[in-house]
Structure 1
Amino acid sequence: MKNYFEIEGLKNIYLEDSYVIDIKETESGIIFDMEFVLKPAHSCYSEPLSNEQYCYKDGTIEFIGCSSINWISRSKQVFTDRNKNVDHGNIDSFFRKGAVNHLEGDWGIVEFTNSERDLVITLIGNL
């Protein structure tokens, strides 16, 4: 079993406090639109804004070439912060067991198969 922080590209991202903004499912993949929390060792890290606890950067986690996408549970629950921004909670658990990914959060639980090299992390804006 491999935890997400052992996967290249996610080593310096703290998913448990990052926000899931949207989840899109394609014919052969899943895309999580995120507001990432970057750890100080991340190459795009900057000091947090005065009113924030962490360094936040928008981005995506894209799982491509997926097969066997299995939603164990799914929730439409949303959260609204004091600035009226809406999110679906966090990714509370993400690990790989062989080629199977297991992700879990307030938004649901999903398992799917793909290659670790078919994981794309993208940071957008505010870099």
Structure 2
Amino acid sequence: MRDNYPNLPGFEFVRLEDSYVLDITIHPGVLSVRLDLMLLPGHPEYGAPFPGDRACFRQATLAFSHIRDLHWTDQGVVKPAVDASGTLDFGSVDSLTRDDDNYEVQGDWGTILLKSSIPSLSIDPPPSPDPGEPAGAVTA
């Protein structure tokens, strides 16, 4: 069965194409993609965008585990971009498709073909407010 990521459990209310890839790491049996993930209305963690953001973004990890085979082509073609805050990113996830237990993940950073269990998406807790600032304060 071939389908796209919104049909995967936990991916229904996210938009990978408008998210930013912050890092990609591979360890034996595990692929982790750190994201500045765009959440859509309907996601349980969705909230008002932080000041200066165009949408609701949260730090998250896309993880593939129990990897039995992995091929990464065209890696190193694109160097990371630096945004106005100095954060590095490698573009977005252009596509994530599934065909049974075969996955294809594409972006400016290359194409990763892998055979694994269903990927998971874990969202970091929201950042804590700075204890030195009054509630509702906006920093520039």
Q: Please confirm whether the aligned pair reaches a TM-score higher than 0.5, indicating the same fold.
A: yes
2:86 and 2:125 map into 1 onto residues whose CA distance is: 20
The CA distance in 2 between the partners of 1:4 and 1:83, in whole Å, is 29
Structure 1 segment 24-43 matched on structure 2, within 5 A = 24-43=25-44
Q: Give the structure 2 partner of residue 101 of structure 1.
A: 103
Give the number of equivalent residue pairs.
Answer: 125
Q: Say if 1:18 and 1:35, in contact at 8 Å, map to a contact too.
A: yes
Q: Matches of 2:86 and 2:48 in 1, distance apart?
A: 23
Give the aligned partner of residue 114 of structure 2.
112
2:50 aligned with 1:49: yes
Question: How high is the TM-score relative to the length of structure 1?
Answer: 0.93
**Which SS does the other structure have where 1:37 is aligned?**
strand
- Residue 51 of structure 1 and its aligned partner are, at CA, apart by 2.0
CA separation in 1, counterparts of 2:4 and 2:85?
32
Q: Determine the C-alpha separation between the residues in 1 that align with 2:99 and 2:75.
A: 21
Q: Secondary structure at the match of 2:57?
A: strand
Q: What is the TM-score normalised by the length of structure 2?
A: 0.85
User: 1:120, CA displacement in angstroms?
Assistant: 2.0
Aligned-partner residue type, residue 81 of structure 2: F
Q: Is the 8 A contact 1:73 1:110 kept in 2?
A: no
* Alignment-derived partner of residue 17 in structure 2: 16
Answer yes or no: is the 8 Å Cα contact 1:77–1:106 preserved in 2.
no
Segment drifting more, 49-58 vs 86-95 = 49-58
Q: Pick the structure with more helix per residue.
A: 1
Greater alpha carbon shift after TM alignment, 28-37 vs 76-85: 76-85
Corresponding residue of 1:2: 3
Opposite residue 20 of structure 2, the aligned amino acid is Y
Please say which structure displays the higher CA radius of gyration: 2
Unaligned runs of 5+ in 1: none
* Structure 1 partner of 2:124: 124
- Give the letter for the 2:21 counterpart: V
Cα distance in 2 between the residues matched to 1:50 and 1:21: 20
Letter in 1 for 2:98: R
The one-character-per-residue Cα deviations of 1:58-107 (angstroms, maximum 9, x if unpaired) are 01011000111011221251011111111111000110012110000011
